[in-house]
């Protein structure tokens, strides 16, 4: 039997990680795991309950909150204490909130444990910021997706518009820059490319081309 792999995808916001991870997971019949959604769910809970951003309060929150990713009618949904927050966590505000809570040790430790549990047996396409460096440093294959900031801003703008969220391109691009800066300069598990990652610049290539490149690398990996 062919071993089910752990496929790690990292990169900054708007590089196309979620789109290609979903397609890859479907093609390979693997589970798609969006780790950013887990940080967003914690951020959502912090806002909902007006919890102060400090290690002690967040530790309590992380211990008492159940974060769950579950497939419902073929779609991956995110639940915080049983409530489906999939739609509510997709706003730019929740993106920044997720980035803020993600710098706290207790939050990272809690989610790391959940993420490792979900991926341990393989058969997963897991995307985030630290999958190839921290969550699964021994992942079977690692990709780092990147794109020029202007292109990432445009993509996020269109994505939000398609969800009925109207925000101007300049402020969306600024938010992404702020998040990139915070995510790559924090002390714990910062966004950085693992040495053994395959780097793909998605600025000028289509989603289909990115997926084709990744599938080629994955099948090459099966041969070795
Ligand atoms: O992928 P995303 O935009 O939904 O992620 C939201 C934030 O969560 C991101 O700005 C940083 C944090 N995050 C993280 O620190 N580590 C991950 N593996 C995934 C996301």
Q: Given pLDDT bands bounded at 50, 70 and 90, which one contains residue 175?
A: very high
Whether the predicted pLDDT of 223 surpasses 90: no
Say if residues 141 and 24 touch (Cβ distance below 8 Å): no
Largest CA distance in the chain: 52
Q: Is 128 in the pocket of ligand 1 (CB under 6 A)?
A: yes
Q: What is the mean pLDDT of residues 158-187?
A: 92
Ligand 1 atom 5: residue of nearest CA = 36
pLDDT greater than 70 at residue 212: yes
What was the pLDDT predicted at 224? 59
Average pLDDT for 133-162: 96
Instruction: Extract the tokens encoding 182.
Output: 């915070």
pLDDT in the model for residue 189: 96
Question: Which element (helix H / strand E) includes 97?
Answer: helix 92-101
Q: Measuring from atom 6 of ligand 1, which residue has the nearest CA?
A: 36
Predicted confidence band of residue 220 (pLDDT cuts 50, 70, 90): confident
Ligand 1 contacts CB of residue 175 (under 6 A): no
Sheet with 67-72: list strands edge to edge. Answer: 67-72, 75-80, 83-84
The finding on whether 86 has its CB within 6 A of some atom of ligand 1 is: no
Q: Nearest Cα to 107, choosing from 67, 41, 62?
A: 62
């Amino acid at each position: 039997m062919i071993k089910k792999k752990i496929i790690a995808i990292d990169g900054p916001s708007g590089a196309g990680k979620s789109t290609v991870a979903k397609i890859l997971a479907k093609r390979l019949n693997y589970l798609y795991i969006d780790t950013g959604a887990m940080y967003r769910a914690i951020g959502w809970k912090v806002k909902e309950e007006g919890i102060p951003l400090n290690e002690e309060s967040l530790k309590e929150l992380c211990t008492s909150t159940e974060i769950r990713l579950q497939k419902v009618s073929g779609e991956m949904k995110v639940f915080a204490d049983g409530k489906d927050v999939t739609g509510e966590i997709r706003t730019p505000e929740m993106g920044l909130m997720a980035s803020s809570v993600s710098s706290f040790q207790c939050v990272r430790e809690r989610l790391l444990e959940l993420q490792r549990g979900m991926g341990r047996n393989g058969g997963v396409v897991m995307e985030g910021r630290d999958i190839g460096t921290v969550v699964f440093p021994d992942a079977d294959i690692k990709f780092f997706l990147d794109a020029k900031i202007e292109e990432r801003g445009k993509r996020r703008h269109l994505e939000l518009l398609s969800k009925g969220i109207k925000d101007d391109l300049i402020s969306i691009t600024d938010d992404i820059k702020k998040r990139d800066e915070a995510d790559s300069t924090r002390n714990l598990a910062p966004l950085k490319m693992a040495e053994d990652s395959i780097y793909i610049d998605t600025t000028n290539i289509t989603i289909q081309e990115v997926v084709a490149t990744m599938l080629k690398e994955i099948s090459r990996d099966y041969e070795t």
